[in-house]
Amino acid sequence: MQRFVNNPDFIVDDMLKGLVKANPEVRFSEENDHVISMKEMKKGKVGVITGGGSGHEPAFVGYLGDGMLDSVAIGEVFASPPALAFYDAIVDADQGEGVAVLFGNYAGDNMNVKMAVQMAEDDDIEVKYVVANDDVASAPKAVKEQRHGIAGGFFMWKVGGARAAKGGSLDDVIASAQNVVNRTKSICVGLEPCVIPALGHSNFKIEDGTMEFGVGHHGEAGTKVEKLKSASEMAQEMAETILNDFDFEEGKEVAVMLSSLGATPVMELYVLYDEVEKVLAKAGHKVWKTYIGNYVTSLDMNGASLTIVDLDDEIKELLSEPAVPIGMKNY
């Protein structure tokens, strides 16, 4: 393994030290060195937090910033932050109006967030949460509440953060975040596995000449292993899988995200998008906004995730609000 690391067992700690030094608007929590928070938070605003395992950068910590997240709990690579980290993030973000916890649907995160919520409520901090479950490959539609949250979580953080920044109540933030979660679906294709720093090798295999359709962000098995296809064929299969899950009865206005899983060049994402747009247009749908780049990754996995959001006026309004996440600063 040839990587920019010191001790692989401490790569998350080293990353966070560099991140805080590079972004003077954020700080370590006074109570927890795996919690990063904004230095300045608007009084009287609902706090918005998330948390999750490392290796998905810029998610999760890269979405700290005005108009998005106030505090983030950071776990080890592909591991949930402990309950105490979520609790400390809640405490940091609390400005007297309650805290919204917006996180992805994984067993460890679910358990630890619920424990943290109970701890916070014992301190008289009102906390409510929303769980992203956009990964259509991770469970059948009949039990969609069991689906994992992947790249579509970005839209939950953006919409929830925007609603809080506009002065919405805790119930408003939760309602807006849940609305976009209900209208967001994603699928991933993996071409080559990622390398786990502490192991020095991948935790799963994708054979040469094959692709894993519906692969998870941690290497969870996809719905099928297929012979490697052209970009056009991949894009069509990804887009049609999501559209079939939506089962639209008419043309829709949508937002589209194509995120690299870490090693895929942006050049190839645009090749995929060209084909995705053709599928959407043929089905009568109009793309209102695109997001193409590294949004939610999986270390150095070669692959891509496609996310489609069924827009309404509220989501469009909140996606249009300004935000300055530290992982995507505009210059």
Catalytic residues, by residue number, are 56, 218
Phi, psi (rounded to 5 degrees) for 5: -135, 155
Cα–Cα dist 291/57, whole Å:
16
* Sheet hosting strand 253-260, strand order edge to edge: 224-227, 210-213, 184-192, 302-310, 253-260, 286-293
Cα–Cα dist 177/130, whole Å:
7
- Could you tell me which residues come within 8 angstroms of residue 179 by beta carbon, excluding any fewer than 6 positions away? 159, 312, 314, 315
Amino acid at 190: G
CB atoms within 10 A of CB 310: 17
Q: If DSSP codes are grouped into helix, strand and coil, which group holds residue 175?
A: helix
CB 123 within 8 A of CB 150: no
Cα–Cα separations (whole angstroms), residue 238 to 71, 219, 229: 33, 18, 12
Cα–Cα dist 64/29, whole Å:
13
Phi, psi (rounded to 5 degrees) for 185: -140, 145
